[in-house]
């Protein structure tokens, strides 16, 4: 299998000029994170920076997705060091002496009180998920016994929450009886949760129905929101869909109500995305820039790319950061944050065999507007 990744060539800081776009990307670091873990398969990484500048990455790993031996694994990069720590298990799915289920989709969040929180799910399948939380008081070195979230709450389903004052806004979704997004909000002053949604979605054809002459539009099927903060104080969520394009919804009241979900022009392959609002107000999206062929349920999970926007509406092409010539392989489920040094840190699934980490920084905003790759 031939793999091309800019990061493979970069052992020192290098600066790339993306042709014709006037954008410079400075690449700083890269690493395979779970190659030494005793697991056959891993997926769905999450990344956070602790208050002291350490980096922490978690994923789920085991024999294969859904197997009862799948646990939540963690590795750390202490500030100022160059080698990630040996991966270890932070949580498992052992529910009793006779019952064990798989773990799924960890999400890390650095909290204002200094604790590092790790949300995750346990279940025999997605429809069986229950939400759980474990906490670290030493920057991810050790973790507390897991605690269940309130009944019916799953926590952030794939992507990081937003801290809005004393409220933690968690982007969530369900896949029973259709794909729908909702939001779970924790009041940190009272430790009380409440739920917003499911959010109403507009109607559109899914890619599975696009080749059917008699197909009629149905409610957009979306999950796994990624949150952005706009300059006017509003919030925007970008979502994975079965409709061949990324979906979006907006809130003007801190996440308590949301507009009808509609489709953007950005392609989606029915796989996870992530996004982050930078300190300067710009927005970065990391995703697979491909759609799904009519009549099919899922598109290739390669290449992996980043795009940028000044307003969360118009997105500009930056570059592909990794790809594989095998369309059945995957570079997927990215997670991205901006560190205290202004650099971007991302982690993503590499062929289901490892989690790959990249550190880079962005300068000028590109000028090549992305156009729909779908219709």
Residue 121 covered by a domain: yes
Q: What is the dihedral sign for C-alpha 339, 343, 348, 354?
A: negative
Residue 186 covered by a domain: no
Residue 365 covered by a domain: no
- Other Cβ atoms within 10 Å of 203 Cβ, number: 10
Residue 131 covered by a domain: yes
What is the domain range of residue 94?
Answer: 34-148
For the stretch 2-18, pLDDT in tens is 333 443 433 333 333 33
Residue 83 covered by a domain: yes
Q: Which pLDDT does position 319 carry in this prediction?
A: 83
Q: Which of 22, 29, 14, 5 is nearest to 363 (CA)?
A: 22
Tens place of pLDDT per residue across the chain (375 aa): 333 344 343 333 333 333 333 345 677 889 999 998 999 999 999 999 999 999 999 999 999 999 999 999 999 999 999 999 999 999 999 999 999 999 999 999 999 999 999 999 999 999 999 999 999 999 999 999 999 999 999 999 999 999 999 999 999 999 988 999 999 999 999 999 999 999 999 999 999 998 888 889 999 999 999 999 999 999 999 999 999 999 999 999 999 999 999 999 999 999 999 999 999 999 999 999 999 999 999 999 999 999 999 999 999 877 888 998 888 889 999 999 999 999 999 999 999 999 999 999 887 665 565 654 332
Q: Which pLDDT does position 318 carry in this prediction?
A: 78
Q: Which pLDDT does position 328 carry in this prediction?
A: 84
Q: Which pLDDT does position 201 carry in this prediction?
A: 97
Q: What is the dihedral sign for C-alpha 210, 216, 217, 219?
A: negative
Q: Which pLDDT does position 21 carry in this prediction?
A: 39
Q: Which pLDDT does position 317 carry in this prediction?
A: 78
For the stretch 240-267, pLDDT in tens is 999 999 999 999 999 999 999 999 999 9
Residue 265 covered by a domain: no
Residue 297 covered by a domain: no
% pLDDT > 70, the chain: 90
CATH code of residue 109 = 2.115.10.20
Q: Give the count of domains, the chain.
A: 1
Residue 102 covered by a domain: yes
Whole-angstrom distance, CA of residue 71 vs CA of residue 217: 39
Question: Do you find a cis peptide bond into 303, omega within 30 degrees of 0?
Answer: yes
Q: Which pLDDT does position 107 carry in this prediction?
A: 98
Q: Which of 300, 159, 162 is nearest to 238 (CA)?
A: 159
């Amino acid at each position: 299998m031939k793999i091309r990744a800019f990061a493979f060539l970069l052992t020192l800081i290098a600066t790339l000029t993306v042709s014709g776009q006037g954008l410079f990307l400075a690449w700083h670091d890269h690493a395979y994170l779970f190659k030494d873990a005793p697991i056959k398969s891993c997926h769905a990484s999450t990344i956070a920076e602790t208050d002291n500048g350490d980096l922490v990455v978690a994923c789920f790993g085991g024999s294969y997705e859904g197997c009862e031996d799948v646990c939540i694994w963690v590795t750390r990069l202490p500030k100022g060091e160059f080698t990630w720590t040996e991966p270890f298990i932070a949580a498992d799915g052992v529910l009793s002496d006779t019952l064990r289920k798989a773990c799924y989709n960890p999400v890390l969040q650095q909290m204002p009180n200094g604790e590092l929180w790790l949300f995750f799910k346990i279940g025999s399948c997605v429809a069986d998920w229950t939400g759980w939380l474990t906490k670290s008081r030493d920057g991810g070195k050790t973790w507390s016994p897991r605690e269940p979230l309130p009944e019916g709450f799953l926590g952030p389903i794939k992507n990081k929450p937003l801290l809005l004052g004393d409220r933690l806004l968690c982007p969530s979704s369900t896949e029973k009886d259709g794909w729908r997004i909702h939001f779970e909000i924790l009041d940190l002053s009272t430790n009380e949760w409440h739920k917003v949604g499911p959010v109403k979605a507009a109607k559109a054809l899914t890619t599975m129905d696009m080749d059917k002459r008699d197909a009629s539009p149905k409610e957009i099927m979306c999950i796994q929101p990624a949150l952005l903060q706009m300059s006017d104080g509003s919030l925007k969520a970008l979502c994975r869909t079965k409709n061949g394009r990324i979906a979006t919804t907006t809130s003007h009241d801190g996440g308590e109500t949301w507009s009808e979900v509609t489709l953007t022009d950005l392609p989606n392959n029915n796989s996870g995305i992530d996004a982050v609002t930078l300190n300067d107000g710009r927005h970065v999206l990391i995703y697979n820039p491909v759609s799904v062929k009519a009549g099919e349920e899922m598109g290739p999970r390669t290449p992996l790319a980043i795009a940028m926007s000044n307003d969360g509406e118009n997105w500009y092409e930056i570059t592909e950061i990794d790809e594989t010539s095998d369309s059945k392989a995957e570079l997927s489920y990215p997670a991205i944050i901006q560190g205290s040094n202004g650099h971007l840190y991302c982690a993503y699934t590499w062929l289901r065999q490892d989690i790959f980490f990249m550190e880079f920084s962005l300068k000028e905003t590109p000028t090549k507007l992305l156009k729909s790759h779908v219709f």
